[in-house]
Amino acid sequence: MSFTLHNYVLSGNCYKIRLMASLLNVTYESIAVDFHPGQEHKSEPLLQLNPAGTLPVLTTTDGTVLTETQAMLVWLAQQHDPSNSWWPVHSKPQITRVVQWLGFASRLTATVGELRLHSMLNKPVNVTAVKTGAKVVLRELESHLTEQRINNLQWLTGDTPTVADIACFPYTALSPDAGIEHDDYPAIRRWLHRLRSLPGFITMPGIYELHELRKPDGYTVSDATL
């Protein structure tokens, strides 16, 4: 089933959908929205689609309208991944873990994402509180990925990537835009590198392809993007 994405190129949440579609080799229509400075996402036509006035908005050919990014990722996996690896319905324990990390992704948006909006677009926030929250969630992610590695698992919920990894990837990778570098998070750097290595990976401003980066030497280089 085809879809249309109301899209802003600098949005980490919009990028999640573009990235998931690329990994699944799915074509779609993209409609650019003037988020800043135009505030087009608050215009009447878009508010009719999404009264919350947020991006992205996904509409399908059968009239479905999705306004929550994590739901869009699940919809894409359900519609376009016959292997059921991105949304692993064959494993109840793993699907529970995936849902948990989809919730965690919302915490990344509310902390790292908000701090990034402050840094880039001067959005008013309590910088001290939001930056503290951002560091807390990144430490949680670092701890989990470290534990996964001890258990010989490379991804958030198992030995293959799922929509949970895609949901958590953008705002983790974009944290330097918010003034939080990755030097203190080696497990996160390894995970970001693995995601960039996936067939079909695409970039957005602030997130680069592997060939643009220094090759990691045992993932111990102090590099904000690895």
Set out the domains of the chain in order of their start, with CATH numbers.
3-80 (3.40.30.10), 92-212 (1.20.1050.10)
**Contact (CB, 8 A) for 112 and 137:** yes
Q: What is the mean pLDDT of residues 185-208?
A: 95
pLDDT at site 222: 34
- Torsion region of 213: left, alpha or beta (phi above 0 gives left; psi -120 to 50 gives alpha): beta
pLDDT tens digit string along 162-190?
999 999 999 999 999 999 999 999 999 99
Q: For residues 221 and 109, give the distance between their C-alpha atoms in angstroms, rounded to a whole number.
A: 27
Higher pLDDT, 88 or 208: 88
pLDDT confidence of residue 211:
63
Is the pLDDT confidence value at 219 over 80? no
- Residue 37 amino acid letter: P
pTM given for the model: 0.89
Distance CA 167, CA 11 (A): 13
CA-to-CA distance for 125 and 105, rounded, in angstroms? 19
Write out the two tokens for 93: 């324990």
Q: Is the pLDDT of residue 1 over 70?
A: no
pLDDT band at 121 (very low <50, low <70, confident <90, very high): confident
DSSP bridge partners of 32: 7
